[in-house]
Amino acid sequence: MAKIDQASEARERGRGEASRGSQVYRVLLDWIRTGTLEPGTRIREDELAGRLSVSRTPVREALARLQARGLVESERGGWTVVTLSRSQVMELYAMRAVLEGAAARFAAENASSSDLAGLRHVAQMFAESAADPAESARINMLFHGALYEAAHNAYLAKMLEDLNDSLALLSSTTFSVAGRRESAQSEHALILAAIEARSPDAAEQAARSHIQKALEARLHLLFDGR
């Protein structure tokens, strides 16, 4: 059972990252990212406060921050982890295509030799991984993380972090769709080849196409594959 470390009264009243509210926020954000709190999950402030051994004040503060980011919503006197509609999924992936395309473009322009080595390594890990959807999703995240690092743009990386937290509201993985892992492997190879060739246009196009294919798999999983 997760608990927030005990701290002084002054620390509890703090408004920086050391405050109780910030600690609760980080715990809840991690639970959303890992699927511990799935979309549609109801959250009761009193139960959460008891689970984390804090008062309800930092819980409210944390939930308000998550609401501002579109990760939870308040309804009927309680809180619920957001469930994305079809239109929201489309908007999310449209923005993801733009940002991932930009990351690939910057990587083609800025990647160091060590960045390229890291991308090659993770791409090879993905190619050699077992056909397990959860493992494929994990290594795919590593590939995209290596791509963001290779872009060398801190502001873009922050925007992608925020966007990927919204993607965590889609609890299942597209790698459970037949053929998606094999397709993603080829798409990773195209992105990597364009970055190695120092071709920003080709890298951006390959990354955008990769996200488009991911969207098609996501829509099938959410709305056709039930």
pLDDT of residue 76: 76
Highest mean predicted confidence (pLDDT) among 31-40, 114-123, 164-173 = 114-123
Q: pTM for the complete prediction?
A: 0.80
Residues 176 and 221 sit within 8 Å (Cβ to Cβ): yes
Mind listing the pLDDT tens digit for each residue in 156-181?
999 999 998 898 888 788 999 999 99
For 76, the token pair is 């009927």
Mind listing the pLDDT tens digit for each residue in 96-118?
999 999 999 999 999 999 999 99
Residues 126 and 184 sit within 8 Å (Cβ to Cβ): yes
Can you list the domains of the chain with their CATH numbers?
A: 9-81 (1.10.10.10), 86-224 (1.20.120.530)
Residues 94 and 163 sit within 8 Å (Cβ to Cβ): no
pLDDT of residue 4: 56
Confidence tier at 146 by pLDDT (50, 70, 90): very high
What separation, in Å, do the N-terminal and C-terminal C-alpha atoms of the chain show?
A: 33
For 173, the token pair is 């993985």
